[in-house]
Amino acid sequence: MCGIICYSGHRKASQVIVEGLKNLEYRGYDSAGIATHTEQSIEVEKGEGTIDEVIKTGLNGDRGIGHTRWATHGKVNRTNAHPHTSSDNSVSVVHNGIIENHEELRKELGRERFKSDTDTEVIPHLIQDELEETDDLQKVCRNVMERLEGSFAAVALLDTGEKIAFKKGSPLVIGDAGDEIFLASDVTPFLKYTDKAVFLEEEDYVIVDEEYTIYNSGEKVEREVEHIDWDAEEASKQGHSHYMHKEIIEQTETVKRAAFQDRKDLLKAVEMVEKAEKVYITGCGTSSFAAELGALYLREAGIQLEVEQSHELEYRKDQINKEDLIIGMSQSGETADLLSLLKKTDASVLGIVNVVGSTLDRDSELSLYVNAGPEIGVASTKAFTGQLAVLKLLAAAADNNIEEVRKSILETSDKIPKVLEDNDSNIDLISSYLSNKNDAYFIGRYKGRIVSKEASLKLKEISYIHSEAFAGGEFKHGTLALVEQGTPVIGFMTEDTSSETLSNMAEAKTRGADIIGIGNVEDTGFDYFVDIPEDNNPEILQTAVAQLLAYRTALKRGESINPDKPRNLAKSVTVK
């Protein structure tokens, strides 16, 4: 779960790479490093910490590779940071993924050659050994790939100045700027320089010198050059203190983008749903909550389906057959648990994804795009509400009322800024209150139950406050025993479930809880209240409020907390 950015061109490579790595820190940020080619040699600078902490000198050379790490194998230290070099220093490698057979390869290659504890270090040693046998870089790539098991996207810088790259299971994309060539984990590091991207396919390998050439199975192949309509400014903070805050505010536009799904695509998706023997909708983390809400939307439209998190549904893979349909949810399109499930079934796949050209996108028979643009903050915000908009339209297509639902979503999106502005002082008060608490409980019913789960996740992942979410009806079956004087209980009131949720909150209040209401009900008896106007899509408005509440709470917990980079977490979960 790491980020790669590599450059060949006429600029100082280290400067371009460091700039690009900062746009990839959402993929991991416990260590970083770069390597550049100068006068037939390779120089490396790496260490533990953020990009700014690690990269001090800026190496010379107009070709280089860079990496920001989220540790999977080996402790967080300088030795385990990428790039890793061969024993003769002729090869330097950056890698995203996991080499599953690295222990066997270490034994074969000779453990005395290894300096780090990482799985990655087998790659430069393998390349070194192959280069001692042949100067045919195609053969080198093929032979190395054949010996690696697992998921990998790797780029190697050779002391000749050439680069070779290969991928299996992990994302790798070429940025084509004519006389400048980029290789990266996604498009954000090179958007400033080019909007032309080539998404590599499974077991593609690339040789880069003055130009790039793509091969697969020993044959030269052509891959489509796609024009990315995100600009570099979209991927910046645009004056906000954090990406998360920018992405919360952007939702008034991104929900609209998600709402403009092509009618033909929606109808084709419905056709896939209706002809399937059985339908499953699945995702992980925030996307799993979107999947749960999507299941409710689709059931209301008369579609019967199952919903389960991908890592759990995989245990039932043998029950899924080729006549079935899996609706896969992922912001990045690279979520390892979801992709692992899809590889082990023959079912058709309908992808709901934000990143065009991602693995999920390519593995899907049809994709409905969230169109949220780059989401840099680790905690998903605009991608989640965009997913909800897409799912609502899918249900609307099944119910033959696309335009009516599209109109309602557009109306909801226009309300987001006003809801946040009108409740600004209350959100500020509640965040101050929560910042001094160690525990919090969220409750709701039906759709409110799932909104409460997403709100709880946001609070815990960026503020580090222990938080749990429950169906209102279950709260009194055990968890109520944990409520004492001053315990915060946050309730989401949606649709016709408000009275029952209010009753559950009243029970908590009689036990000493401080109750916080978020919804469209009369403000009576609450210690704090956020008023959500009447709307056909209240869960989108409630979610935006919960995101801002979590963000401000995190800021008030202390300067050591960075909402964009919660500890121990990474944006794109590309390992199981």
* Angle value at C-alpha 533, between 532 and 538, nearest 5 degrees: 65
Catalytic site residue from 2, 6, 141, 284: 2
pLDDT value for 445: 93
pLDDT value for 398: 97
pLDDT value for 156: 98
Q: What is the torsion angle, in degrees rounded to the nearest 10, for the CA atoms of residue 496, residue 390, residue 459 and residue 567?
A: 160
Q: What is the DSSP-derived secondary structure letter of residue 218?
A: T
Across 108-117, 423-432, 500-509, least confident range: 500-509
Q: Where are the domains of the chain?
A: 3-227, 242-415, 423-570
What integer is the mean pLDDT of 322-348?
A: 95
pLDDT value for 1: 60
pLDDT value for 55: 85
* Angle value at C-alpha 181, between 53 and 146, nearest 5 degrees: 90
43-81 core/surface letters (b: 16 or more CB in 10 A; e: else): bbbbbbebbeebbeeebebbbbbbbbbbbbbbeeeebbb
**Predicted confidence (pLDDT) per residue in 13-58, tens digit:** 999 999 999 888 877 777 999 999 998 789 999 999 888 888 877 7
Amino acid at residue number 150:
G
CATH 3.60.20.10, applies to 3-227: yes
Q: Is 242-415 in the same CATH topology as 3-227?
A: no
What integer is the mean pLDDT of 149-159?
A: 93
pLDDT value for 235: 67
**Predicted confidence (pLDDT) per residue in 191-228, tens digit:** 999 999 999 999 999 999 989 999 999 999 999 999 88
Amino acid at residue number 282:
T
Instruction: Give burial (CB, 10 Å; 0-12/13-18/19+) of 510.
Output: exposed
pLDDT value for 304: 96
pLDDT value for 234: 65
70 has pLDDT over 80: no
381 has pLDDT over 90: yes
Please report, rounded to a whole number, the percentage of residues in the chain having pLDDT higher than 70.
98
Q: pLDDT category, 358, cuts 50, 70, 90?
A: confident
Q: pLDDT category, 572, cuts 50, 70, 90?
A: low
Q: pLDDT category, 151, cuts 50, 70, 90?
A: confident
Distance CA 359, CA 365 (A): 12
Distance CA 526, CA 264 (A): 47
431 has pLDDT over 80: yes
End-to-end CA distance of the chain: 10
- Whose tokens are 């994302």? That residue is 171
pLDDT value for 2: 84
Tell me what the pLDDT averaged over the chain comes to: 92
What integer is the mean pLDDT of 246-271?
A: 94
Catalytic site residue from 46, 447, 453, 571: 571
Arch. (CATH architecture) of 423-570: 3-Layer(aba) Sandwich (3.40)
pLDDT value for 233: 64
pLDDT value for 575: 60
Distance CA 415, CA 204 (A): 46
**Predicted confidence (pLDDT) per residue in 124-147, tens digit:** 999 999 999 999 999 999 999 999
pLDDT value for 576: 66
pLDDT value for 523: 65
- Whose tokens are 């700027």? That residue is 177
434 has pLDDT over 80: yes
pLDDT value for 479: 82
Residues in the chain: 576
Q: Which fold has domain 242-415?
A: Rossmann fold (3.40.50)
What integer is the mean pLDDT of 442-468?
A: 96
pLDDT value for 522: 77
Cα 116 off chain centre by: 28
Q: pLDDT category, 574, cuts 50, 70, 90?
A: low
Our answer to whether residue 6 is catalytic in this structure is: no
- Higher pLDDT: 521 or 548? It is 548
The DSSP H or E segment spanning 158 is: strand 150-158
Amino acid at residue number 290:
A
Distance CA 48, CA 97 (A): 19
Q: pLDDT category, 169, cuts 50, 70, 90?
A: confident
Our answer to whether residue 2 is catalytic in this structure is: yes
